[in-house]
């Protein structure tokens, strides 16, 4: 199967979140999402989602920078490279520094296209091994402890296998304490999104008392050295999110002892090829990995499900039901979670969910096409 790529269609949609999502770096009430469609010359196409947020607060990228990078740089490089395989896209875009969410939106669409042309589910096409993935939830900062406890209760009752809460300075130990008082045995984690420094080591030593599965990204993204110092000072495993951009940072983090667990996000690492390489590296060294989330629509969610079927993904991820985010998703059926806290992997070709084109069209605020062949 050789690809003959023809054009990329970018679409910006706006999807209001059912509830605002608040982290240490800000609050999101509606998502502006770039949906990518890549066509080949036969007329077949694949879908991808760019996970760049609205503002450059999680990392440097935004939907607007990603749009420019795809049109001005990704498209010309693809045109020049004449890639024939999805597995060659990552390397063909290597000249573009950073901007991995922009590249990932296109790369993942080409994987979906290739899977469809091979009449195979995407998860099998990338080498996945399981037909069910385990699911956890990420709960944002809440207006009060009572509301937080209610949310935790609801998600546990829905079956989710792991609860993650967001923390930030001033809103950390007390939240964990409140949850542990009511739910002593649940699998619980916290995510700081880089809000702390090494001067907060005492606080993280206190968190050691609450049997957390992990502490996600306590320190700055670029700071593997300080994460190494913090990890050796505390018992709870550190999980890195923002710090891991490619297999190189995964190796550096391992060599420096900066973490014991890694969160892989398709966008953050630039697509399926890099995600697969990172999970392979980690599996060979007994570093568990799990799939992170960026408040994706159903298209990005479907790619996350496919990635989570790779053998190294041994911990529950942040991939949860569409209904936790949206009144109506852009895929049919929406992603649902079974009472055991698992998501069934779809068996159809490509991402395995039908994209609701009419709904996409009605949500679209901007559309642009660019040739790549």
Number of residues that bind ligand OSB (CB under 6 A): 10
Is residue 241 a contact point for ligand OSB (CB under 6 A)? Answer: yes
Q: Can residue 293 be called a binding residue for ligand OSB (CB under 6 A)?
A: yes
**Minimum CB separation from ligand OSB for residue 215, in Å?**
12
The one among 40, 61, 107, 241 contacting Mg ion by CB under 5 A: 241
Q: Is 62 in the site for ligand OSB (CB under 6 A)?
A: no
Q: CB of 85 within 8 A of CB of 110?
A: no
* Binding region for ligand OSB (CB under 6 A) out of 65-73, 85-93, 103-111, 286-294: 286-294
Compute the C-alpha angle 266/120/367, nearest 5°. 55
Within 10 angstroms of residue 266's Cβ, the number of other Cβ atoms is 30
Contact of residue 138 among Mg ion, ligand OSB, none (CB under 5-8 Å per partner type): ligand OSB
Residues 22, 40, 107, 191: which binds ligand OSB (CB under 6 A)? 191
Strand, helix or coil at 46? Answer: strand
Q: What values do phi and psi take at 188, rounded to 5?
A: -125, 140
Nearer CB in complex with Mg ion: 23/161: 23
37: closest CA among 16, 12, 62?
Answer: 12
Is 318 among the residues that bind Mg ion (CB under 5 A)?
no
Taking CB under 5 A as the criterion, the residue among 40, 107, 114, 191 binding Mg ion is 191
| 103-111, 143-151, 293-301, 326-334 -> range binding ligand OSB (CB under 6 A) | 293-301
Regarding 138 and contact with ligand OSB (CB under 6 A), the answer is: yes
Paired tokens of 95: 């000249």
Residue nearest to ligand OSB (CB): 293
Report, in Å, the least distance between residue 283 CB and Mg ion: 21
Least Cβ distance, residue 186 to ligand OSB (angstroms): 17
Pairing state between β 289-291 and 261-264: parallel
**Residue 22 touches Mg ion, criterion: CB under 5 A:** no
Beta carbon of residue 216, minimum distance to Mg ion (angstroms, whole number) = 5
Residue among 18, 166, 168, 235 flagged as catalytic = 166
Query: b/e string for 77-109 if b means 16 or more Cβ within 10 A?
Result: bbeebebeebbebbebbeebeebbbbbbbbbbb
Choose the stretch contacting ligand OSB; rule: CB under 6 A; options: 120-128, 250-258, 278-286, 289-297: 289-297
Tell me if 92 sits within 8 A of 79, measured CB to CB.
no
Q: Considering only the stretches 92-100, 287-295, 331-339, 340-348, report the one whose residues sit in contact with ligand OSB under the rule CB under 6 A.
A: 287-295
Rank residues 338 and 367 by Cβ distance to ligand OSB and give the closer one. Answer: 338
Q: In this chain, which of 59, 135, 193, 297 binds ligand OSB, going by CB under 6 A?
A: 193
The b/e string for 130-143 (b: 16+ C-beta within 10 A; e otherwise) is eeebbbbbbbbbbe
**Residue 295 makes contact with ligand OSB by CB under 6 A:** yes
**Residue-by-residue DSSP string for 71-128:** IIIIHHHHHHHT--SGGGHHHHTTTS-S-HHHHHHHHHHHHHHHHHHTT-BHHHHTT-
CB of 337 to ligand OSB, least distance (A): 12
Tell me if residue 265 is catalytic: yes
Residues 6+ apart with CB under 8 A from 371: 6, 7, 75, 79
**Alpha-carbon span 137 to 139, nearest angstrom:** 6
CB 294 within 8 A of CB 53: yes
Give the containing element (helix H, strand E) for 215.
Answer: strand 214-216
- Name the site residues for ligand OSB (rule: CB under 6 A): 58, 138, 191, 193, 241, 292-295, 318
Q: Could you give the residue numbers annotated as active site?
A: 166, 265
């Amino acid at each position: 199967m050789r690809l003959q790529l023809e054009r990329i269609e970018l679409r910006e949609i706006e999807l209001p979140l059912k509830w605002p999502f608040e982290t240490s770096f800000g609050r999101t009430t509606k998502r502006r999402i770039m949906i990518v469609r890549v066509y080949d010359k036969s007329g077949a196409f694949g879908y991808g989602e760019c996970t760049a947020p609205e503002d450059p607060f999680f990392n440097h990228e935004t939907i607007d920078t990603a749009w420019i990078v795809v049109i001005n740089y990704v498209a010309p490089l693809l045109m020049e490279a004449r890639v024939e395989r999805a597995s060659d896209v990552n390397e063909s875009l290597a000249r573009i520094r950073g901007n991995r969410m922009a590249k990932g939106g296109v790369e993942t669409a080409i994987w979906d296209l290739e899977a469809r042309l091979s009449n195979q589910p995407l998860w099998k096409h990338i080498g996945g091994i399981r037909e069910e993935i385990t699911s956890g939830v990420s709960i944002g900062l809440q207006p009060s402890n009572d509301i937080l406890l209610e949310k935790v209760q609801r998600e546990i009752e829905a079956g989710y296998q792991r609860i993650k809460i967001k923390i930030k300075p001033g809103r950390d130990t007390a939240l964990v304490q409140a949850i542990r008082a009511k739910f002593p045995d649940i699998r619980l984690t916290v995510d700081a999104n880089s809000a702390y420094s090494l001067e907060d080591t005492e606080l993280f030593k206190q968190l050691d008392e609450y049997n957390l599965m992990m502490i996600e990204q306590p320190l700055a993204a670029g700071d593997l050295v300080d994460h190494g110092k913090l990890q050796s000072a505390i018992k709870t495993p550190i999980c890195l999110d923002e710090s891991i951009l490619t297999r190189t940072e995964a190796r550096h983090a391992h060599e420096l002892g900066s973490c014991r667990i890694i969160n892989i996000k398709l966008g953050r690492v630039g697509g399926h090829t890099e995600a697969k390489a990172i999970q392979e590296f980690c599996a060979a060294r007994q570093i568990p990995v799990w799939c992170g989330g960026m408040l994706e629509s159903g298209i990005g969610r479907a790619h996350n499900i496919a990635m989570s079927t790779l053998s190294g993904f041994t911990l529950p991820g942040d991939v949860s039901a569409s209904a936790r985010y949206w009144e109506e998703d852009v895929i049919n059926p929406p992603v649902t979670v079974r009472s055991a806290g698992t998501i069934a992997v779809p068996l159809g070709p490509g991402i395995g969910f039908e994209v609701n084109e009419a709904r996409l069209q009605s949500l679209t605020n901007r559309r642009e096409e660019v040739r790549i062949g």
